[in-house]
Structure formats: C-alpha cells, structure tokens
C-alpha cells in the first residue's frame, strides 16, 4: 500500500492473515489423533485462532466409535501458531505433544 | 442462528503468545455474529490487532481514543436507532480504558440508557504501555509504578476497584463477571448479555503473560485459580439489583490464595511476607462472608 487510505480505513477485513505469526514459535504443539477425543478444548482456547475444525475422515482415531460420533478434528495451522502451549496444557487426554521447534 | 463455528477474528495479530484477550474477543464475536459493530478503547487489543494497514477484525470496527469507547458506542447506537437498524453494538476496553480513563464515558453511556454491550477485558494493569498499575490492579501486585523494595515490600497498596458493582449501581440491565477458564459460565453470560436490551456490562478476567509474569501455556490454569481461590468471584446482577446479586460459581472448597500467587512473578515478593498474603486472604474471606450467600 503506497498511500494512507482516507481516515486510515482498512477495507480488507481480516487481512492480518498476511502476517505469518508462526515465525514467533519456539515450541511446537503436535496433535496425536489416535489419542484425541475430539473435545475441541484446544480449538476453544486457541488465542490466535490457529486451530480450526476439519473433516476428520482421513485422520487416525482411537476407535471407530469416536470417528462416527464426531466427524471433525482440530487441526493446527502452523502459519499462525505462536506456540503458547495453552492447547498442550489444557488437553484433557494429553494428546498434544509440545516439542522444541526446529528451524 | 449460531455462529459458534465461524471466526470473526482473524489470526496474524500481534497479541502475545498465550494472551487471554483474543480468546475473550473470539467468543464474544462468535456469540454476537456478523451483525455487529465493535468500538475499541485504546489498549493492547486495539494496538496489536490493527497495525495499519492490517486488521484482525472481520466486523466493522472503530477506535477513537483511550477515554471514549463508551461515548463512541453511544453515538453509533443512537445513529442505528435513528435509522431503525437492529445491531449488536459492542465496546471492548481494557482495565485502564474502563475503570480509570474511560470510566466517565462508561458512566454516561449507562445513565443515558444506550443499547450497548460493554466488555471489559481486565488484565489488571496498563500492559500496553509497559505494566503501570491501574485501578484494577490487585493488592500486592508488582507493576512498574508499584515497585517493590525496602521502602515498599508490598507492591500495590490498595485493593482492586470493584468495577462490576460500581457499574451495577448505575442500574444497567445486565452486569456479570466472567472467566474464560469457567467456559460454560463464560459463554452463557456472553449469550445472556447479548439477549438483553439496554446498557450491559461484562467484566472478564484476562491474564497477561508479560505483566503477570507467567508461562504462556498456564493462562487458563491461572485464570481458573483466580476464581477457585475466591479472588475473582463470578456473579451477575440484573437491572442493578445489587442486593440480589447472584453468585454463579461457588467453589466447594476454596483454595488458599498462595496457589494463585505462586504461579505469577508479579506476586513473587509477596510470598516472602506471609503477613501480606494473609491480608489478601482475609480480604477474600471478608468478601465471601459478606456476599457469599447471595
């Protein structure tokens, strides 16, 4: 953008997605879907949000019953995850691992 | 219609990792849906989510100054009313912009009866400008303007301003305190606040990793302890009826305040002085003796 818009209005709502804040990350959360009970507490508490709901048919699960009951899974978008670790800390079944980022 | 699975707040903002404020904003917007205008007081949330030329807000949003979020919201509401438009008008302010600098505008907004939901995300100091104490900073907290040393081993000497009860004294239709760590209560209160007409006020506790000095991953754990120790009680007040304030969560067994204090660097000095911890504990006990039956 060359010139400041009149009134400094930002017409493109939600364009902060152009900032890839995932570069801030020091530790990285990894969801282990075979342990995940699809409770979405990680999604609920992600402050970015960098966790979204996605169709879970291609993801492993502890058993078929879980897959049948809840068709979606939480997926981490590493473009934006700052690695705060709230998801890792709040996961009730310890399905999220928190490892040092390798860059 | 529910917008729970939609996001009206985009990632890529500059809020610190582990900050609770965007969690609060996400859920207020999810409950409100797209037919919403947001007014934002100066503060971390405003600065870090709208670094020009980018914004995280997917609903119309305006910032004017530190002191007048409630006045700007009042004007938008009056305009919407004149045009016959039904909108959610939501003001977000931090504790500095609400309990101190913006209080006059907030008081006026409620007195005039504007149909606005004002959300205070309270991180208990001026975090955006570098951790200066505010009226919402609790007793015993270190900040850069309540320094700890030989002359003052306590930190902030005065207790937290009871803003929700002060606002309730203006007789708004709905006032509640909420905590994201008590998620169902938090969500229900946002929904309830949105369902009322007239001025409404939500006081939501929001931890600050930088100013409270804690590990970012512990955000929800610490917020949970704030209520489990009785330091941040959860209640609601309808139509300003303070005598019938309703406590919505009563810990079965209160945890000692130390459990909350020891997780945060801003209270580290206090733990070396059991008498000051005891003073804070007594303040909590007194509050619950006085109001706990409601």
Please give the average pLDDT of every successive group of 10 residues along chain A, which has 103 residues. Answer: 84 97 98 98 98 97 94 98 98 98 82
Interface of B with A in 263-292 (CB under 8 A): none
Stretch B74-97: mean pLDDT? 98
- For A63, the domain range is 22-100
Q: Which residue of A has its CA nearest to B9?
A: A14
Residues in a beta bridge with A52: A75
Grade residue B1 by pLDDT with cuts at 50, 70 and 90: low
Task: Compute the mean pLDDT over every residue in chain B, rounded to the nearest whole number.
Answer: 97
DSSP code for A62: S
Residue B83 is predicted with a pLDDT of 97
Q: Contact A89/B13, CB-based, under 8 Å?
A: no
Q: How many CB atoms lie within 10 A of CB B286?
A: 10
pLDDT computed for residue A3 by the predictor: 83
Confidence of residue B202 (pLDDT cuts 50, 70, 90): very high
Residue range B157-164: average pLDDT?
97
Tell me, yes or no, if B20 comes closer than 8 A to chain A by beta carbon.
yes
Run of H or E residues at B190: helix B183-195
Q: Residue B143 pLDDT more than 80?
A: yes
Indicate the pTM of the whole model.
0.97
Contact A85 B18 (CB under 8 A): yes
Is residue A45 in some structural domain? yes
The CA distance from B219 to the nearest CA of chain A, in Å, is 7
3-state secondary structure of B274: helix
Q: How far is A32 from chain B (nearest CA, A)?
A: 18
Among B7, B9, B217, select the one facing A89 at the smallest CB separation.
B217
Q: Which residues pair with A53 in a beta bridge?
A: A74
Task: Please report whether residue A12 resides in a domain.
Answer: no
Which of A21, A24, A49 is the closest to B7 by Cβ?
A: A49
| Residue numbers in B near A48 (CB within 8 A) | 11-13, 22
Cβ–Cβ under 8 Å, residues B268 and B214: no
Cβ neighbors of B242 (< 8 A, separation 6 or more) are B165, B168, B169
**What is the total count of domains within chain A?**
1
Q: Is residue A14 part of a domain?
A: no
Q: Is residue A36 part of a domain?
A: yes
Distance between B153 CA and the closest CA of chain A, angstroms: 32
Confidence of residue B91 (pLDDT cuts 50, 70, 90): very high
Chosen from A23, A44, A47 to mutate, greatest number of chain B CBs within 10 A? A47
pLDDT on residue A2? 65
To the nearest whole Å, the CA of B36 is away from the closest chain A CA by 13
pLDDT tens, residue by residue, B170-184 = 999 999 999 999 999
Cβ <8 Å between B26 and A49: yes
Q: What is the pLDDT of residues B95-121, one digit of tens each?
A: 999 999 999 999 999 999 999 999 999
C-alpha B285/C-alpha B59 separation (Å) is: 42
Tell me whether residue A10 is in a domain.
no
Confidence of residue B2 (pLDDT cuts 50, 70, 90): confident
Residue of A nearest to B48 (CA): A16
CA distance A37 to chain B (A): 18
Q: Which value does ipTM take for this structure?
A: 0.96
Q: In this model, does residue B294 exceed pLDDT 90?
A: no
Which structure tokens are listed for B263? 């997780």
A52: domain CATH number is: 3.30.70.20
Whether A1 is covered by a domain: the verdict is no
Residue A15 lies in a domain: no
Give pLDDT, residue B146: 97
**Closest by CA position to B21, among listed B112, B128, B100:** B128
Q: For B18, which of A5, A77, A84 is closest by C-beta distance?
A: A84
Which of B17, B21, B53 is nearest residue A83 as measured by Cβ atoms?
A: B17
Q: Which residues of B touch A44 (CB under 8 A)?
A: 183
Query: Is the pLDDT score of B130 beyond 90?
Result: yes
**Chain A residues with a Cβ under 8 Å from any Cβ in chain B:** 1, 4-5, 8, 10, 12-21, 24-25, 44-50, 52-53, 77, 79-80, 82-86, 88-90, 98
Answer yes or no: do A89 and B15 touch at CB < 8 A: no
Neighbour tally for A57: CB within 10 Å? 10
Q: In terms of CA atoms, which chain A residue is nearest residue B18?
A: A84
Query: In this structure, is residue A16 part of a structural domain?
Result: no
Q: Which of A16, A49, A87 to mutate to test the interface with B (most CBs of B within 10 A)?
A: A16
Q: Are B10 and A17 in contact (CB under 8 A)?
A: yes
Does B58 contact chain A (CB < 8 Å)? yes
Which DSSP state fits B99? I
């Amino acid at each position: 953008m060359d010139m400041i818009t009149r009134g400094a209005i930002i017409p493109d709502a939600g364009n902060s997605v152009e900032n890839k804040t995932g570069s801030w990350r020091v530790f990285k959360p990894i969801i282990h879907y075979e342990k995940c009970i699809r409770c979405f507490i990680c999604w609920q508490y992600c402050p970015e949000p960098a966790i979204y709901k996605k169709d879970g048919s291609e993801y492993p699960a502890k058993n078929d019953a879980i897959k049948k009951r809840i068709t979606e899974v939480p997926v981490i978008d590493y473009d934006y995850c700052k690695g705060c670790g709230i998801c890792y800390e709040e996961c009730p079944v310890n399905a999220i691992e928190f490892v040092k980022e390798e860059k | 219609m529910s917008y729970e699975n939609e996001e009206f707040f985009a990632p890529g903002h500059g809020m610190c990792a582990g900050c609770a404020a965007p969690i609060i904003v996400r859920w207020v917007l999810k409950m409100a849906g797209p037919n919403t205008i947001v007014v934002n007081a100066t503060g971390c949330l405003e600065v870090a989510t709208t670094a020009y030329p980018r914004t995280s807000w997917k609903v119309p949003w305006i910032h004017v100054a530190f002191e007048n979020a409630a006045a700007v919201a009042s004007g938008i509401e009056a305009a919407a009313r004149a045009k016959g438009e039904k909108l959610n008008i939501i003001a977000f302010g931090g504790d500095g912009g609400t309990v101190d600098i913006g209080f006059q505008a907030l008081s006026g907004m409620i007195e005039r009866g504007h149909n606005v939901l004002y959300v205070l995300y309270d991180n208990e100091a001026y975090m955006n400008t570098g951790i200066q104490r505010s009226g919402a900073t609790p007793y015993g907290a270190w900040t850069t303007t309540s320094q700890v040393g030989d002359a003052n081993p306590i930190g902030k000497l005065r207790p937290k301003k009871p803003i929700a009860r002060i606002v309730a004294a203006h007789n708004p239709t709905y006032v509640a305190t909420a905590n994201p760590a008590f998620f169902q209560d938090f969500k229900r209160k946002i929904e309830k606040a949105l369902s009322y007409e007239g001025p409404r006020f939500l006081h939501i506790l929001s931890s600050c990793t930088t100013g409270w000095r804690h590990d970012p991953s512990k955000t929800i754990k610490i917020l949970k302890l704030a209520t489990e120790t009785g330091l941040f009680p959860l209640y609601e007040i309808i139509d300003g009826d303070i005598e019938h304030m309703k406590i919505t969560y009563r810990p079965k067994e209160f945890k000692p305040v130390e459990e909350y204090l020891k997780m945060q660097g801003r209270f580290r000095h206090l733990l070396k002085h059991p008498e000051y911890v005891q003073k804070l504990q007594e303040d909590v006990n007194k509050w619950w003796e006085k109001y706990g039956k409601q």
